[in-house]
Amino acid sequence: MYVRAMTDALTSDEIARLRRLLVEDDIRKVKLLYSQLMDAGRIDELAEIFTEDAVCVFGKFGEWHGRDEIRTNFAKVDAEHHDGIPFYALHATTDHWVEVTGPDSAIGRSYLIDIVTETPTDGEPIVVVGVYDETYRKVDGNWQIARCVLQFLWPTTDVTPDFHAPFPQS
């Protein structure tokens, strides 16, 4: 395999690809921040990575509309299910696939493995396995989550009717 010398000029296609990769990396950082902030119990900061008009669809936890409702409901879930203890659960998001759909829009899918850190050593630490389907929008120069749908796969299945549609959607 031939690898070009670092001093060779990049083609316009390579420059475009590098720009797209930088955008994809920025979006992946938002998703990583989502898990870090949620797990640390930093709910106010977590809410700020969502657009003002964001929608979250979280199965039994409901459908949340707007940043204020998202903040309120994440705080409620944190208090009720994580006992308000930072890092009580770890949201391991993996295999994050991102497709840039426009200069200020993108979609993505990632896998969730939700691990409870307070589980006794003889217990099952994994409490949820699911898939995040998301829409991202660039607002004031920053990428944010505009729509977040969590498809629950295990231990119970709770998915939206269009979940088994091909991804990415054409």
> Residue 1: is its pLDDT beyond 80?
no
Predicted confidence at residue 4, as pLDDT, reads: 66
Give the bridge partners for 126, in sequence order.
115
User: pLDDT for 108-129, tens place per residue?
Assistant: 999 999 999 888 888 899 999 9
Predicted confidence at residue 169, as pLDDT, reads: 65
Query: Can you give the pTM of this predicted structure?
Result: 0.91
Q: Where are the domains of the chain?
A: 12-154
> Would you state the structure tokens that stand for residue 72, as one six-digit string?
């309120």
Give the chain's radius of gyration (CA, Å): 18
> Residue 98: is its pLDDT beyond 90?
yes
- Count of residues making up the chain: 170
Predicted confidence at residue 80, as pLDDT, reads: 86
**Which of 1.10.260.40, 3.10.450.50, 3.40.30.10, 3.40.50.170 is the CATH number of 12-154?**
3.10.450.50
Predicted confidence at residue 3, as pLDDT, reads: 64
User: pLDDT for 32-78, tens place per residue?
Assistant: 999 999 999 999 999 999 999 999 999 999 999 999 999 999 999 98
The letter for the amino acid at 41 is G
